[in-house]
Amino acid sequence: MDAGKINRERAMHDLDNLAGIDFGARLAGTTAITFAQNFKFKIQACKKGEDADAWILKQIEKQTIKTVFIDAPLSLPPAYFDEESNEFFYRQADAALGAMSPMFLGGLTARAMKMKRLLTAQNISVFETYPAALVRLILPHSKFYKKDIQEFRKELHTAIRALELPALPRFATFHQVDSMLAWISGYRHLTHQSNIVGSEKEGLIYI
């Protein structure tokens, strides 16, 4: 049996333990989570006005989640912990991927870092990911990302067909799409296929 097949089979056993999160503003109703249960995808969306942070913790508590991939910065630029650095805005990973500065995101970054601490205390592994970078990697010629949700679903289906995953669900919003992309990045990591960008000291982004 080849190593790739073994890795996929191991990951299949971990599908129910993996969550992908698109992390939005606290009360905006733009946060979504993707799970896989009994080899079927399930997407949950936070309602507008509901506390997204409390909602995430509640959703994860209902599942046997061991690994979370979240679309949000989980660390700060080096100037905030290294007196010799003059980089106050971007980490190496942000610069490499063209990602938004964690400082520009401000409160969202602080919430995400707190979320990681809370989940880590429950022995849940938390990784940072960036759905737009995954799209550039697996669908470099995508015409529909953030433009036409159902046409993008077709593109994504084609791109991940070889991964032998459950059938993709219908998406209501691109926040749900991004939670699915975060989940796929998690799956890629479980099967040792992920691209890892940045530095251990500053923070890594897993694609």
2 pLDDT band, cuts 50/70/90, is low
27-38 pLDDT, tens per residue? 999 999 999 988
pLDDT at 132 over 90: yes
171-201 pLDDT, tens per residue? 999 999 999 999 999 999 999 999 999 999 9
Point out which residues pair with 67 in neighbouring strands. 18, 125
118 pLDDT band, cuts 50/70/90, is very high
DSSP for 27-71 reads TTT--EEEEE-SS-EEEEEPPTTS-HHHHHHHHHHHTT--EEEEE
Picking from 11, 30, 178, 200, the residue whose alpha carbon sits closest to that of residue 108 is 30
The percent of residues above 70 in pLDDT, for the chain, comes to 94
Domain total of the chain: 1
The position carrying tokens 């993008």 is 152
User: Domain containing 149 — which CATH number?
Assistant: 3.30.420.10
149-171 pLDDT, tens per residue? 999 999 999 999 988 899 999 99
Residue type present at position 187: Y
Structural domain containing residue 120? 3-206
What does the block give as tokens for 201? 């000291």
1 pLDDT band, cuts 50/70/90, is very low
Per-residue model confidence (pLDDT) at position 187: 94
The position carrying tokens 């409160």 is 107
81-104 pLDDT, tens per residue? 999 999 999 999 999 999 999 999
